[in-house]
A and B are shown apart, each in its own frame.
Chain A
Amino acid sequence: MTAVLQPGATPGPDTHAAAVEDRVSVASNWTLVWWRFRKHKLAMISLGLLLALYTLVLCPDFFSTQHPETTEARQAFIPVQGLHIFDGWSIDPWVPAIVGKRNAETLRMEWRTDAEKKVRVGFFMPGPAYKFLGLIPSTLHLIGPRDASQRIFLLGSDRLGRDQWSRIMHGTQTSMTIGLVAVTLSVILGIVLGGISGYFGGWIDQFIQRLIELLQSVPTIPVWLALSAALPRDWTPIQVFFAITVILSLIGWTTLAREVRGHFLALREEDFVLAAELAGCSRARIIMRHMVPTFLSHIIATSSLAIPAMIINETSLSFLGLGIRPPAISWGVLLQEAQNIQTLALAPWLLIPGLLVIVAVLAFNLVGDGLRDASDPYSK
C-alpha cells in the first residue's frame, strides 16, 4: 500500500496535511487511478497525442485542405511543401510554390519548391463543402489557400496527384476507429464470455476455455486472409469496414476473456464479494456492482494495449490489399502506394503514414502501460 493510502489519523486541526488527507479520504478509485496515472510523464504526453488523433477522427474534412479523392494527373508526386507560419517578422502563413520541369531524358516531371514564390494560406478558410460530423453542412477548413484556385500539398501528393495531407486525415479516421471499435467488440465478447466462464465455472467454463484454445491455435493471418477474401466484392466501403472490424474482434477477444475469467476467479474468493452475497445481493448485482468495477480499470489498461495490435492488423491487411479497399482510405491503403522501390526512391514522403502508425501504436502502448501501473491504486 502506498503511503498516500495510509489510514488516516483522527482528523486534526485545520492544517494543510489534514486537508490533503481529507481529499484522499473521499477520493474514489478512479480519482486515485488518475492521480497515479498523472505521474507518468510519457503516458501523459501520449494521452495528449491520442486525444489529438481522435480529434481528427471526429472531423477529418475540417482538417484537410482538399477533397481526398481529387485527382490531377499533372500534379503527381509533388514533394512536401512545408507550412511556414512567419513571413519575416509578421504572422502571415505561406507555403513555397512548386515549380515543375520535365526531365528531357526520363520524360518525368521533376518538382522543386521555390521559396521565392509564396503561396499565401490562411486559417479557417472556405474550401470544398463537407458535412461536419456528417450532419452540419460546412465549407470551413482549418488551413486553406487564400486564392481558392490554388492547390496546396502540405505533405506532397501521390501518383494520381491526390493530396496526401488530406488523405492522411481520412485514413486516420478509418484506422483509429477500426482499432477502437474492434477492441470494444473484443472487450464486450471478452467480458461476457470470460465472465460466464469465471463466475459459473463447471462445464461451461471448460467449453469456453477449449474454444479459446482452439481459436488461439488457429494461425491468424491465413484466417484473416480467408475471411476477408470471402467478403463480397460488391460491398460498400462501409460494409467492408464493419466486416473487417468484426473479423478482427472475433479473433481478438480470447486474451481478454482469459483475463476477465482470471479476475472473476480471484474475486470469487474475495471477502467483500462474499459479503455482498451474504447481504442478499442477486447474482447480477454481485457481478455488475461488485465484481466488474473492481477490474474494469485493469480491462481498460489491457484494451488500450490491444488497440495498437488491431491497428497494425488492419494496416497489414489493407497493405496486402485484403482489408479496407479503395476508395475507402486507411493507413494501410495509403501505405499500399509506397509498395514498390521505385516510388520510394521518387516519393519518400509516401511513407509518412507509416510514421503515423508507429506514433499511434507507441502512444497507445505508453498510455496502456501507464494505465496498467495505475489501475490498482491500492497495491504497492
Chain B
Amino acid sequence: MTAMVKQIATEPLLSVRDLHVDFGLDEGLVRAVDGVSFDVMPGRVLGIVGESGCGKSVTMRAILQLVDEPGRITRGEIVYRRDAGDGLGSAGVDLTKLPRHGAAMRAIRGAEIALIPQEPMAAFSPVHTVGAQIVEAIRLHHRQWRPEGGGLSVNDARDIVVDLFRDVGISMPEQRVDAYSWQLSGGLRQRAMIAMALSCKPRLLVADEPTTAIDVTTQAQVLALLRELQRKHGTAIIFITHDLGVIAQMANDVVVMYLGRVVEQGPVDGIFHAAKHPYTRALLRSIPSISGATRVALPTISGTLPHPFNRPGGCPYHPRCDEKIGTVCASHVPHLTQLGNGQAASCFLHQDASETA
C-alpha cells in the first residue's frame, strides 16, 4: 500500500475538536461527550480507554454520524481529511456538518471509515451468507476497488471477498464465503467482520471493543491479525476498549476518558509509565496483574461513578480524587494542558487554576 507514504505524517487524518454530544432525556440533559478533542494520525493506532459511561462509545458513534435520538452533537467539529485522489483535494471535511444519511456521509462511512463492532453476531444478517453481505458492501463502494469507474460484477466482488478472507486468516475461504454467520465460530465471525470492515480499503478503522465478547486465546489471534493488517495496509485505527492490557499491546497513542471528558492523552509509553492524571494512575493501579502479589487488597478508586444528571461541578473527577487541591478542583474545570513529549492532562496538579478560571 502506498497510501501511507503519500500522507504528510504531520497532518492528522481525523481531528476531533471540542466535541459535545448531549442526550435530552425527559429527566434532564446528559452530557455524554463534553468537550472532547484528539487527533488520529495516519497509520497509527489511537486507543480510547475508559469505564462505562465515560463517553467513548458515543464519541465513536459521533465520528460515524450514528448518534441515535435523543442524542445530538451540539458543538465542536470532526474534521476528516479525505484522500486527495478523488478530485476533492485533501481538504478537511467536517463530518458533523454532513447530513447524517446524505450521499457524502454514506460515501465516507463504510468505505473510508469502517467499523468493527463489538458483537459480530449482531452485525451480520442471519438470512444472507456472510460472503453475500460483503459482496454487497464492495459493490456499493466499488470506486474503492475500481477508481477508474465502471461497476464491479458479483463474481469479481466474490473473488475479492475470497482474497480478503485469506488475508484475515480464514481457512478454506472459498467455502466459508457461502456460510451463514451462525455457522461460524466466534473467532471466525470476528475475522469475517474484519474482512467486511477492510472490504472497502478504509483509511480509518474504528474498532469498538472488538475482542470483548471473545475468549482470551481468540482475542490474542484477533489482536495479532489487526496488528499485522495495520502494518501491511497502513490503516489508521481508533481502538475503543476498557481493557488496559489490550490498549498497552495495541495502541501507539492513548486517550483516557472520564465522564465525557478527556482526562489524559499521549503516547502509550507515557500513559502507562509516566501517567500524569490521578485517574489514569488510579486506574492502572487497580487492575490485578498476571505477575503481581496475590491475595492482597488492590488499590481502588474511592466512591462510585456519579449519576449522569448529578455531574459534580469543577473537575468531574474531584469527588473521587486522592490528590485534589483545596477548593480549586471543586470550583474550576481544568483544561487539557500540554506537558511535553506529546502528553497532555487535564488536571490542576499540572496547570495553574488562574489560567482557566
Q: Mark A294-312, 1 if CB is under 8 A from B, else 0.
A: 0000000000000000000
**CB-CB < 8 A to B30: which residues of A?**
3
A12 interface hit (Cβ, 8 Å): yes
Contact across chains for B28 and A9 when beta carbons are under 8 A apart: no
**CB-CB < 8 A to A3: which residues of B?**
25-28, 30, 308-309
The 8 Å CB contact of A10, one of B25, B28, B303, B308, is: B303
Nearest residue, chain B, Cβ from A12:
B310
Contact across chains for B304 and A9 when beta carbons are under 8 A apart: yes
**CB-CB < 8 A to A10: which residues of B?**
303-304
**14 A-B contacts (beta carbon < 8 Å):** A2-B25, A2-B26, A3-B25, A3-B28, A3-B308, A3-B309, A4-B26, A4-B27, A6-B309, A7-B307, A9-B306, A9-B310, A17-B309, A21-B307
Min distance, Cβ A373 to any Cβ of chain B, angstroms: 14
Q: For chain A, what secondary structure do more than half of its interface residues adopt (helix, strand, loop), or is it mixed?
A: loop
- Size band of the A side of the interface? 10 to 19
Contact across chains for B307 and A8 when beta carbons are under 8 A apart: yes
Within 8 A of A (CB), among B16-32: 25-28, 30
**CB-CB < 8 A to B25: which residues of A?**
2-3
Contact across chains for B307 and A6 when beta carbons are under 8 A apart: yes
Q: For the complex, what is the distance from the CA of A17 to the CA of B27, rounded to whole Å?
A: 10
Q: For the complex, what is the distance from the CA of A6 to the CA of B307, rounded to whole Å?
A: 7
Min distance, Cβ A374 to any Cβ of chain B, angstroms: 14
List the 10 closest pairs (A to B, CB-CB), nearest first: A9-B307, A3-B25, A3-B27, A9-B306, A9-B310, A4-B27, A6-B307, A8-B307, A17-B310, A6-B308
Nearest residue, chain A, Cβ from B306:
A9
Binding site for B on A (CB under 8 A): 2-4, 6-10, 12, 17, 21
**CB-CB < 8 A to B303: which residues of A?**
10
Q: For the complex, what is the distance from the CA of A6 to the CA of B304, rounded to whole Å?
A: 13
Q: Mark B27-43, 1 if CB is under 8 A from A, else 0.
A: 11010000000000000
Nearest residue, chain A, Cβ from B25:
A3
Q: For the complex, what is the distance from the CA of A92 to the CA of B26, rounded to whole Å?
A: 47
Q: A4-B27, A6-B308, A7-B307 are in contact. List 6 more A-B contacts (CB 8 A).
A: A2-B25, A2-B26, A3-B30, A8-B307, A10-B303, A17-B309
Nearest residue, chain B, Cβ from A15:
B310
Q: For the complex, what is the distance from the CA of A2 to the CA of B309, rounded to whole Å?
A: 12
**CB-CB < 8 A to A4: which residues of B?**
26-27
Q: For the complex, what is the distance from the CA of A21 to the CA of B28, rounded to whole Å?
A: 13
Nearest residue, chain A, Cβ from B23:
A3
Q: For the complex, what is the distance from the CA of A6 to the CA of B25, rounded to whole Å?
A: 12
Min distance, Cβ B183 to any Cβ of chain A, angstroms: 25
Within 8 A of A (CB), among B290-312: 303-310
Nearest residue, chain B, Cβ from A17:
B310
Min distance, Cβ B191 to any Cβ of chain A, angstroms: 30
Nearest residue, chain A, Cβ from B308:
A6
Min distance, Cβ B3 to any Cβ of chain A, angstroms: 41
Q: For the complex, what is the distance from the CA of A4 to the CA of B305, rounded to whole Å?
A: 16
- Most B-side CB within 10 Å, residue of A6, A12, A17, A21: A6
Nearest residue, chain A, Cβ from B28:
A3
